[in-house]
Amino acid sequence: MTKKKKQKFTFPQAVLEPVKTFLTEELNKITKQVAQVEKDDPFANEDRVNENAKPDMEADEQFGHARAKAISGQLNKKIIQIKKALARVKVGQYGICEKCGQFINTKRLMVYPETTKCVKCREKEV
């Protein structure tokens, strides 16, 4: 049995530079969103201990905290994906599936620019 060799494709740096700029801007925007979500977390408010006079206050705080954690968790996953895509831009592998080595469909990249896998390989994972 012979293993299929991964083909070595690369995009020109001139094509990757706007992608890098876009991803960097997205990373900065999402990082600011995470900071804001964490700031808005009711558990981050030091005065909350003194404000628990209302019986429904604890439930509101619990819900707000759970919501903030869920949102920041999703945003942190997105940050990791963007950093991974930026690393692939740096080494010239952006837009190439990390599993099969084929080009990722440009429509997929336009919708999900931080993707590192083609549709076929992603579907195999799910």
Cα end-to-end distance, the chain, whole Å = 27
Would you state the pLDDT for residue 43?
80
Would you state the pLDDT for residue 1?
46
Q: What is the 3-state secondary structure (H, E, C) of 20-70?
A: HHHHHHHHHHHHHHHHHHHHHCHHHCHHHHHHCCCCCHHHHHHHHHHHHHH
pTM confidence score? 0.77
Would you state the pLDDT for residue 117?
92
Would you state the pLDDT for residue 29?
97
Regions of the chain short of the pLDDT cut 50:
1-2
Would you state the pLDDT for residue 40?
87
